[in-house]
Amino acid sequence: MSTTVTAKGQVTIPKPVRDLLGIVPGSKVDFRRTPDGDVVIIRAGKAPPASRFQKLRGHAGKGLDTEAIMALTRGEP
């Protein structure tokens, strides 16, 4: 993706990049230089948004140990 720099040095961050980084109006961003000389943009002050897999992580419920979970999986009472 590319964008055009204005006379004031401003650019519009493309929507797919804003969505990926969770950037909304008022968000702060950092520009960092990588060891190979590239410059990357990151969302400042907050952890990156959870991935679709992180959203699925959790637990089976309070008080259930491995044996109880396996029994439920097998359909045992």
Give the pLDDT score at 9: 94
Determine the Cα–Cα distance for residues 49 and 51; give it in Å rounded to an integer: 6
Q: Per the domain annotation, does 6 fall within a domain?
A: no
- With respect to residue 22, please indicate whether it lies within any of the assigned structural domains: yes
Helix (H) or strand (E) holding 39: strand 39-43
Q: What is the domain count for the chain?
A: 1
4 lies in some domain: no
Does residue 5 belong to any structural domain of this protein? no
- Domain-embedded: residue 67: yes
Q: Is residue 53 assigned to a domain?
A: yes
Confidence at residue 68, expressed as pLDDT on a 0 to 100 scale? 84
Could you tell me the sign of the dihedral formed by the alpha carbons of 14, 15, 20, 21, in that order?
Answer: positive
The pTM of this model reads 0.52
Domain containing residue 70: 15-74
Rounded-to-integer distance, Cα 44 and Cα 19, Å: 15
Residue 39 lies in a domain: yes
What is the average per-residue pLDDT within 11-30?
A: 90
